[in-house]
A = this chain, B = another copy of it.
Amino acid sequence: MKQSPSLIGPSGEETVLPTFLNLPPDKRERVVEAALVEFADKGYQQASLNTIVAASGIAKGSIYQYFRDKKGFFLYLFDFAVARVRRTLVQVKEASAHQDFFTRLEKSLLAGVEFIRRHPRIYGIYLKILFDRHVPRRDELLRAVRRFAADYLGSLLRQGMARGEVRADLPEGTAVFILDALLDRFLQAASVPAFDVALDLDRAASPELEQRIRELVDILRRGLAR
């Protein structure tokens, strides 16, 4: 859990202070876990440092020795969350490199669902910044995540085209948009209640999720037209 690359945030301001990095690992994890729970549930604005203090058993003043302020705390957490997501996607991409485009798409969806079910808070933090313009650096953070997802999917798509599995006459931007939209939406529906009334994915067990993923990818493969 060495996080030295985040000591200096993207704009040169400290997001985390040295005291935090010097903590014993179990104590550091306690702070991170309590903050993940609170920020993922409440979003940036409503998340309360007092709640994090109570849940972690750390004194209020100490939190300000670890991070300059609430914003710094949040940005550190977001960095942490994004790094976790990226690692996963890179692994999926490499592990499926020898398979065809549509299989890779299925594998990505499956890995995505597995990730959010194992790390609901990390996904929750991401969801909470989507529509809240008051999150510090929201546009920048979101753009970084979305850029990563688009690059990932764009790369899959180009490889699929090069191998003759995907039509080469596609407008790439729109195709990436569709893939991105469906991937993210599927994860949201699998994660958030009342979101999806067509499939009820948030209550679905693995076999059903897999079936739905196969159907979705098949529709993408063949289109809707008769």
User: Which 4 pairs, one residue from A and one from B, show the smallest C-beta to C-beta distance?
Assistant: A223-B223, A181-B185, A139-B194, A174-B215
A150 with B197, Cβ < 8 A, contacts A127-B131, A215-B171 known: yes
**B-contact bits for A162-196, CB 8 A (1 contact / 0 none):** 00111110110111111011101110110011111
Decide if B219 touches A178 in the complex (CB within 8 Å): yes
Residues of A16-44 at the interface with B, using a CB-CB cut-off of 8 Å, are 41-43
A173-B212, A221-B223 given. 4 additional CB < 8 A pairs?
A: A131-B188, A146-B197, A147-B197, A170-B219
Nearest neighbor of A215 in chain B, beta-carbon distance: B174
Residues of B within 8 A of A86 (CB): none
Decide if A226 touches B174 in the complex (CB within 8 Å): no
Residues of B within 8 A of A142 (CB): 194-195
Decide if B226 touches A167 in the complex (CB within 8 Å): yes
A30 to B147, CA, bound (A): 41
Nearest chain B CB to A85's CB is how many angstroms away?
A: 16
A43 to B197, CA, bound (A): 23
For the complex, is A107 an interface residue (Cβ under 8 Å from B)? Answer: no
Number of copies: 2
**B-contact bits for A122-145, CB 8 A (1 contact / 0 none):** 001001101111100011101100
Decide if B219 touches A198 in the complex (CB within 8 Å): no
A76 to B124, CA, bound (A): 28
Nearest chain B CB to A126's CB is how many angstroms away?
A: 9
Most chain B beta carbons < 10 A, residue from A101, A102, A146, A147? A146
Most chain B beta carbons < 10 A, residue from A130, A195, A223? A223
- Which of B174, B177, B198 contacts A180 (CB under 8 A)? B198
For the complex, is A99 an interface residue (Cβ under 8 Å from B)? Answer: no
For the complex, is A216 an interface residue (Cβ under 8 Å from B)? Answer: yes
For the complex, is A45 an interface residue (Cβ under 8 Å from B)? Answer: yes
